[in-house]
């Protein structure tokens, strides 16, 4: 497709264009929303599992203090101590890391309408992306300006929240009494302050993340917009050109006509105009319906072919201009004869059965 200016792209993206964009991994996703959710979940998880963490930390420090005189670093002992430290770290942080992992997966899947998908094309190396000119354009693009404004806004909000929380505790004289508290009490106090800052900041960042997600959706829709010519080209490519559709339609009519002609030899009678129209009628009473059925119809050359097949297979041909014309205009192939024509068709069938009683399916 040729490159078009953004002003020309006024049409909404077609399902095919959306599918192609998704295959390339071009989805409306907000990194800010993921970071805000991760921060909020991490702070809450630390608050929930803080007791376990400090207990493990206390046991670790106590063990090191009680056995420091026996610790000898040698090539053989280093792997043992390293394994001990790794086990401590995993035990202490596993719950928090698991919460962060689950939060990251859920928030990313939720932004894609809770669909877990993998896009191989998004991982393909594109050398065009390494172009310095494109890099400079990105620096001065609208998206970069928006990102800069968001960064400044986030820093300002976090700074203001931290200042207001700390100022509140300073005004309450909580910081000045720390000189007379134990280490544990001081840690609990600072944990409380940082927890309040973190919760308030993460909630505000979450709101900004939701707004950023809405902006990313708008931006993605704007990128996927198409010109009227692109929509026409895609429709031609997807549905086929008028010439191709005409050929397909012609082939379908040919197949349908072939099936119709194959049913003529089994017809009970052919009603003609006499030369312009031919209608093949089958009368084969069944349990569901006793009405005659139209198995073939045609004009001009098709009518001549129907009559030729009827003559070849000894199917009676009866001339009835009004009936032939009316049936041709009203009834399609495969349909039963409407009640309105029962009397006229019955008279034609009576003529056939009077000349050849063996053709009457109701004979005893």
Q: At 271, which CATH number?
A: 3.40.1690.10
Q: How far apart are CA 38 and CA 112, in angstroms?
A: 17
- Does 255 reside within a domain? no
Partners of residue 333 on adjacent β-strands: none
**How many residues comprise the chain?**
364
pLDDT exceeds cutoff 80 at 38: yes
Of the pLDDT bands very low, low, confident and very high (cuts 50, 70, 90), residue 97 is: confident
Both 53 and 199 in one domain: the answer is yes
Q: Which of 172, 203, 225 is the last residue of a domain?
A: 225
Enter the pTM of the model.
Answer: 0.51
- Does 248 reside within a domain? no
Both 71 and 200 in one domain: the answer is yes
Q: Which of 198, 225, 252 is the last residue of a domain?
A: 225
Question: What is the pLDDT of the chain when averaged over all its residues?
Answer: 78
What is residue 2's predicted lDDT score, i.e. its pLDDT?
Answer: 42
Q: Which two tokens stand for residue 181?
A: 């508290």
Residue pLDDT, tens place only, 111-145: 877 676 666 555 555 655 556 666 666 666 777 78
Q: How far apart are CA 338 and CA 235, in angstroms?
A: 41
Both 40 and 147 in one domain: the answer is yes
Average pLDDT over residues 62-85: 77
**Which of 16-20, 253-257, 327-331 tops mean pLDDT?**
327-331
Average pLDDT over residues 221-243: 74
Place of tokens 């040698």: 74
DSSP class per residue in 95-159 = HHHHHHHHHHHHHHHHHTTT-----GGGGS--GGGG-HHHHHHHHTSHHHHHHHHHHHHHHHHHH
Both 275 and 209 in one domain: the answer is no
Both 26 and 136 in one domain: the answer is yes
What is residue 299's predicted lDDT score, i.e. its pLDDT?
Answer: 85
- Does 266 reside within a domain? yes
Both 210 and 330 in one domain: the answer is no
- Does 3 reside within a domain? no
CB atoms within 10 A of CB 260: 20
pLDDT exceeds cutoff 50 at 3: no
User: In the chain, how many domains are there?
Assistant: 2
Structural domain that includes position 350:
262-359
- Does 257 reside within a domain? no
Q: How far apart are CA 154 and CA 167, in angstroms?
A: 20
Residue pLDDT, tens place only, 145-189: 878 888 888 889 889 999 998 888 877 677 666 677 777 777 778
């Amino acid at each position: 497709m040729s490159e078009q200016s953004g002003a020309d792209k006024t049409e909404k993206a077609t399902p095919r264009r959306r599918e192609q964009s998704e295959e390339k991994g071009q989805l409306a996703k907000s990194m800010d929303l993921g970071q805000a959710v991760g921060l909020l979940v991490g702070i809450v998880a630390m608050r929930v599992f803080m007791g376990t963490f400090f207990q493990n930390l206390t046991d670790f420090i106590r063990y090191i203090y009680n056995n420091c005189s026996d610790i000898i670093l040698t090539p053989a002992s280093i792997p043992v101590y390293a394994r001990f430290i790794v086990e401590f770290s995993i035990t202490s942080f596993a719950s928090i890391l698991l919460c962060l992992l689950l939060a990251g997966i859920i928030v990313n899947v939720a932004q894609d309408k809770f669909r877990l998908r993998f896009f191989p094309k998004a991982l393909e190396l594109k050398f065009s992306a390494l172009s310095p000119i494109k890099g400079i354009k990105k620096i001065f693009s609208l998206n970069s300006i928006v990102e800069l404004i968001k960064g400044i806004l986030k820093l300002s909000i976090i700074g203001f929240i931290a200042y207001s929380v700390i100022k509140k505790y300073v005004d309450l004289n909580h910081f000045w009494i720390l000189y007379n508290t134990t280490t544990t009490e001081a840690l609990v106090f600072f944990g409380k302050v940082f927890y309040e800052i973190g919760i308030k900041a993460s909630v505000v960042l979450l709101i900004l993340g939701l707004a950023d997600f809405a902006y990313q959706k708008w931006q993605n829709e704007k990128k996927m917009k198409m010109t009227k010519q692109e929509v026409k080209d895609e429709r031609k490519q997807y549905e086929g050109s008028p010439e191709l559709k005409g050929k397909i339609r012609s082939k379908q009519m040919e197949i349908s006509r072939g099936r119709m002609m194959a049913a003529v030899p089994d017809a009970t009678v052919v009603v003609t105009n006499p030369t312009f129209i031919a209608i093949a009628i089958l009368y084969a009473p069944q349990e569901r319906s006793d009405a005659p059925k139209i198995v073939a119809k045609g004009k001009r050359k098709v009518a001549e072919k129907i009559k030729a097949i009827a003559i070849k297979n000894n199917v009676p041909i009866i001339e009835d201009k009004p009936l032939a014309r009316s049936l041709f205009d009203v009834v399609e192939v495969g349909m039963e004869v409407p009640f309105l024509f029962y009397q006229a068709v019955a008279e034609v069938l009576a003529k056939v059965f009077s000349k050849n009683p063996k053709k009457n399916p109701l004979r005893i």
